[in-house]
Structure 1
Amino acid sequence: MARIVLGIGSSHTPQLSTTPDWWEDHAQRDRRNPELLGRDGELHIFDELLAEKSWNIDPSRLTPQVWADLHGRAQTAISELGRVLAEVDPDVLLVIGDDQEELFLDDGTPTFAIYWGDTIDDFAPDEHKQEAMPAGLRAALWAAHNDTRESYPVPSKLGLHLIESLMTEEFDVAQLRTQREGRSVGHAFTFARRRLMGDRVIPLLPLLINTYYPPNQPSPRRCYLLGRALRRAVENFPEDITVAVVASGGLSHFVVDEQLDRRVLDGLRNRDFESLSTIPRRYMRSGTSESLNWIAAGGALEGLTMNLVDYVPAYRSTAGTGVGMAFAVWR
């Protein structure tokens, strides 16, 4: 029988994979973002955040030295996650992440989906698309895509089993066996390959949750229950394999909400279904919605114990914008 032997949670923000001299560039994008999710669960422009003085960040937390320290902590945490993954050496990496107009566009965005082709391909945006990207995002592309096309092995038999099991449990899961031309697997999944796996390519099974795009995003409760159903499905798979579950993304961004992040992390550590499932849906929007990937993983990892490797509230402007970077291991 298959066994879940490891859980990993990791932010995958471009801020994590760019040196601190790029962080001001990321902050400039915040100034142009018309929909910044505030700590009140409402969308704001940058100047509205500045006007809410209780949300403002002391400039002493935005110095080059502070940013260098935060960046160093985040890199140390990523290294620790990679070390643990190599030590456990699972047969399969089940990555729970969101798609941001990579595999899915307006022609169809399912709430939940599993890709179960024999391989899935990673490739960078073409030269024209890269030229149109903000410089800070281009600087972080190395953590999302290989320079040349790379095919990752997919445990297709496990993928099919999970789809069938979830359907039996009344989760309507879209299934994909092929990629549409020109569409790479998304950065939530390639991040696990490029920043966690190291030299060994572990077969990767992508489970996609539509956290970002209305109107069909799932609730925190639905995501946790999905995770529980995933665990049962893995444990019923007849082959003797070991599985690691990875939650990719989050936590709060593009406004750091330390209180919300602590609620998510404490809920996962304590297996507190009630606290996690009652987070108001208005907070699970924009980049912060990637916390749903962690909540789903929490349901799958209830049998293991979560240890927080680090939580790094990486502010990048006085308006409180930035990313609540989190790194955790379940064993």
Structure 2
Amino acid sequence: MKIIKLLFLLSIISFFSCKDIDVKKTEIKIETFNYKVTTTPEFFTQLIDNHYKDFKTIDVTQFEEICENHNLKTTDLITIRKFYTLEILHKLFTSSSAQNGSRGEILNIPYFWHWTNPNPRHSIILLETNQKLSDVKSPASFSKYKSFADIDRTPYLFLSELLLENPKYKTPSLGEFSTFGWCSEREMAFVSLLETLNIKGKVFSDGNHSWSEFLIPITNNQNKVVNFVAKIDNTFDNIEWKTIADNKISSWKNNLGNVPLAKWYNEKAHSKTEIEKIKTIQVSVKTSSFIETQLVSYINKKIR
């Protein structure tokens, strides 16, 4: 009789435990949103609004450390949104290393070296014509380049291709993808995109590498503004947050690194012509649905 009672109790415990697990899974399932045709900054603003709280559920350690170290409110929605705006956009853009074909976990944006011999971009195939990019004539706006494979991919080109409804390129090893770029190209596009969202930053170059840096003001518990510099590396998937004194901001803005091309990178990243063109890119329902699905899938994987 004791054995029967014990088995009965265990079955009850097991039943309710399973129910608890099922409830938890239901509670943390991330909602998928629908979007209308909209402009680029409007789409990314909506995407962030829909998911910044979700991101906080999967990646809160660094945020809480920053808040604790600098007397910020962990529950303040403005602070949370500023932090996770950068986190979400970074995760969309980043690769994982400086190796050919390296990609991030959400969007398929391969990393490709440039200005090397042999140049791996020469083997990329344009899906529309099945030609290698080295055999495709460069557009008029890039007339100084020998072929489409040789161009330096500026922000509007990078982003307009990223937001196409269908992939534009392929390689035998990577399959199909819409856009690509190495460090300087990714960061130029990233800074330009954030400029359309009124987030001020720059491309910083050191040696043979580039990353982005942004000035982010956040109000602390004493109602004082603390200025942060968020260093975002969209090649190696990394974000670092550091405070900056008010009297250092001017010199920070002017310091672009030790690479002569850094000036050109920033001219392109902040070009009014490029930014206005980016603002007019129409994000279709198909494109927004794809990005939304990829982002939600990433969040659900991290929760589990």
TM-score (norm. length: structure 1): 0.27
Larger Rg over CA atoms:
2
Larger fraction in helix: 2
Structure in which a larger fraction of residues adopt strand: 1
Q: TM-score, normalised by structure 2?
A: 0.29
Structure number with the bigger relative contact order (C-alpha 8 A, sep ≥ 6) is 1
